[in-house]
Structure 1
Amino acid sequence: MPSIKKNPVLSAAPESQATAPVQARSRRGHGRVTLQNVAAQAGVTSITVSRYLRHPGVVAPATALRIQTALSATGYLPNKQAGQLASGHSRMVAAIIPSISNSIFSETVQGLSDTLQASGYELMLASSGYSLEREEEQIRAVLAWSPSALVVTGTHHTTGALLLLNAAQRNGTPVIEVWDQPVEPQAASPDAISQVGFNHHAVGRAMAEHLLSRGHRRLAYVDSGVVEDFRAHERGAGFRAAAREHSRTHRRDPATVKLINPPAGDAFECGRLALAQILALPGTPFTANIATNITAAAFANDHLACGALLEAQARGIQVPAQIALMGFGDFPISRQLQPPLSTVSPPRHEIGVQAAEVLLAALQSGTPPAHRALEWQMQIRESTG
């Protein structure tokens, strides 16, 4: 297994003047409609079409309308690869996210895409499937397309991936990591990769501190069940650290944390299984006032917590009276449950917007991307009392 490193638009002209239209789908070479096809359809020169495509405002309105009508009729698409070769750079930014099916990343992708498009850039998207080896393959693949910049998720990468990212930066391709931020600031170095995100260890600590403030001392943290979901693991580490700190300062009222690792699979089902596992721990069958019962559980994401809440309801267990539950992600479903789920709301959309802004600034200035720490919000609802 590879080693892993953590990054320290024809007007109706008189018939006598109308040009004979060419076939709308005339092709050349590999089936592409050419600029000459469009020019013949519009009755203008290829140079005029090219000028319109680059700077529409410099072409007379009547001519522009004819060209746009011809573009629509022929289905012409500019050859961006050829344009890239001519200019030496692309107008595309690549982003690699852990999962396309995980809705937590969709708002980040939207923020990236909207902000980049407003500045004339397009987004190329790839998924690593929460696999560091696949991420390395995707990095290698997207860099072969010579993107203007690259966005990767998290700070954990294989050694090979990190070498590719560092080489890309040295060759003038800005790279940024999103959704994460190290506990300690990174030392400045030529190979340092900037982050736009937040610290997951701090999130985990805050989750534990909230439950501790509600009087809970027998706690559980339910991880995501995905081996390479390092951000979930880091939240768990922060959760346990807060409990240890409480125990050091409250020796007569210590806190304990049981780490639960559900199997990978459907998150709702895994959440149900996780609660069943919690209830199978010493102190069951679950009844009130048993000292060894776990009385509060934090989950790596809202879907797991929702599954646990459904399982509790199926068993007749009162939430939060008998066990408090909280998640991470602030998905819409978390507000619709009964009781509504306490959770952490990450800056999903803002991560994408600010990552794009940072990259655009770097591309314009030629300097390395800036580092931005974003804020998250605790959403306290009825599931934790």
Structure 2
Amino acid sequence: MARPPADVAADGAAPRHRRGHGRATLRDVAQMAGVTAITVSRYLRQPGVVAPETAAAIRAALSATGYVPNKQAGVLASGRGSVVAALVPNLAHSIFAETLQGLSRKLEAAGLELLVAASGYSVEREEAQVRALLGWAPRALVITGRHHTPGTLKLLREAQAGGCTVVEMWDHHARSRDGFPQVGFNHRDAGRELAEHLLAHGRRRLVYVDSAVAGDYRARERGDGFLAAAQAAGAQVWRVEAPAGEPIAAGRAALVALWGDAIRRPDACACANDHLGCGALLGAQALGLQVPQDMALVGFGDFELAAHLSPGLTTLAPPRQEIGERTADLVLGSGGEACTRIRVACPLVVRGSS
């Protein structure tokens, strides 16, 4: 029986193929570029460590040969890949897209690649996605938030014990017992700040419009903080859930319903996110209300539309890209031992709606 071909370079980063398959090999690229196979492999892992002239020759050879590295072969050889896996609730949401952009930019500069999945705000789906992502033997796994199923926690702890860095982003809780690094802010505190802003402007009948998404616990926690601060100040406060559907339309419908309740009509409304808040502002204007004279409105997220309405929507502005960048620092080991729980600022942006 013929001996099987060597399939993996010594450092695990590059595959070699049988000549008859027609696919370019690492040696083909090296020969065309006039360098060693080890140099090509090093370039594929960390382009920045190779001299510019050599890098240009390798890029030209890669383009000419159409060479594609076999990532799974690299994992088999080294036990660790060049992949960092990230799990967010919603890939279409600009908040998470910008966080992934910040994360990806820093990882790419270090020669790592980002593999992304979405949980759809479901902890059960999150568990299934974590299991699937760990099947790629990632160098690190970044997960959104700190509320997980027992099964997910078991998977994460086993991965961490096996050398995979685990980081929770978009949340920060000093009493968290899960033992994972965190990058984010406290959502109860964020809700409290919205209430305190409205109270400081004389509002005494406050309502929090919650997200209709069942698994959005961060929005629930902001609502908890909002209600606690208003109650502590002796104000009237209550919570309603936005109707299901597109969030701007849902925010508009929620505002119209709130104003239609003559017995419990609020003088201030905080929305779980800016999509709901922008919809509420449009709903108020459709009713002929003066904002903020008849009702003050605030949101969360600092979405682009919030700044362009008239009046602009007062909101909290989480540092979306910074969260991704600081998470990358922890993955790359540049965050420092004392910074395993990094709290970022979430400033209030005051506009005309409040």
TM-score, shorter chain, exceeding 0.5: yes
Are residue 110 (structure 1) and residue 101 (structure 2) matched?
yes
Q: Which residue of 1 aligns with 2:40?
A: 52
1:54-69 pair list within 5 angstroms: 54=42, 67-69=58-60
The counterpart of 2:157, out of the listed 148, 166, 179, is 166
The counterpart of 2:296, out of the listed 324, 347, 356, is 324
Shift of 1:225: 0.8
Kindly tell me the number of residue pairs found equivalent between the two proteins.
334
Are residue 307 (structure 1) and residue 279 (structure 2) matched?
yes
After alignment, is 82-91 or 213-222 more displaced? 82-91
Q: Which residue of 2 aligns with 1:14?
A: none
Shift of 1:49: 3.6
Shift of 1:35: 2.6
1:174-189 pair list within 5 angstroms: 174-182=165-173, 184-186=174-176
Unaligned runs of 5+ in 1: 1-25, 248-254, 284-291
Unaligned runs of 5+ in 2: 1-16
Shift of 1:342: 0.4
Aligned to 1:156, the other structure's residue is in SS state: coil
Letter in 2 for 1:193: F
Q: Which residue of 2 aligns with 1:278?
A: 258
Aligned to 1:327, the other structure's residue is in SS state: strand
Q: Is the 8 A contact 1:90 1:147 kept in 2?
A: yes
In structure 1, distance between residues paired with 2:23 and 2:201: 66
Report sequence identity in percent: 51
Q: Which residue of 2 aligns with 1:136?
A: 127
Q: 1:27 to 1:329 in 2, by over 3 A?
A: farther
Q: Is the 8 A contact 1:52 1:59 kept in 2?
A: no
Measured against aligned partners, the alpha-carbon deviations of 1:53-77 in whole angstroms (never above 9, x if no partner) come to 425877995x876654332112112
Letter in 2 for 1:381: R
Letter in 1 for 2:221: E
Letter in 1 for 2:172: Q
In structure 2, distance between residues paired with 1:165 and 1:334: 37
After alignment, is 317-326 or 86-95 more displaced? 86-95
Q: 1:29 to 1:94 in 2, by over 3 A?
A: farther
Q: Is the 8 A contact 1:51 1:59 kept in 2?
A: no
In structure 1, distance between residues paired with 2:130 and 2:18: 34
Letter in 2 for 1:123: L
The counterpart of 1:83, out of the listed 74, 89, 93, is 74
Letter in 2 for 1:282: A
Shift of 1:314: 1.4
Are residue 225 (structure 1) and residue 216 (structure 2) matched?
no
Are residue 198 (structure 1) and residue 188 (structure 2) matched?
no
Please report the TM-score for the alignment, with normalisation by the length of structure 1: 0.80
In structure 1, distance between residues paired with 2:255 and 2:64: 60
In structure 1, distance between residues paired with 2:103 and 2:179: 22
Measured against aligned partners, the alpha-carbon deviations of 1:213-245 in whole angstroms (never above 9, x if no partner) come to 111111110011111100000000000000111
Q: Which residue of 2 aligns with 1:374?
A: 344
Q: Which residue of 2 aligns with 1:350?
A: 322
1:252-267 pair list within 5 angstroms: 255-267=235-247
The counterpart of 1:269, out of the listed 234, 245, 249, is 249
In structure 2, distance between residues paired with 1:216 and 1:316: 20
Shift of 1:128: 0.5
Q: Which residue of 1 aligns with 2:8?
A: none
Measured against aligned partners, the alpha-carbon deviations of 1:314-355 in whole angstroms (never above 9, x if no partner) come to 111111111111100011111110001100011211111111
In structure 1, distance between residues paired with 2:327 and 2:344: 11
Larger Rg belongs to: 1
Q: 1:163 to 1:383 in 2, by over 3 A?
A: same
Aligned to 2:270, the other structure's residue is in SS state: strand
Please report the TM-score for the alignment, with normalisation by the length of structure 2: 0.87
Q: Is the 8 A contact 1:219 1:296 kept in 2?
A: yes
In structure 2, distance between residues paired with 1:326 and 1:80: 47
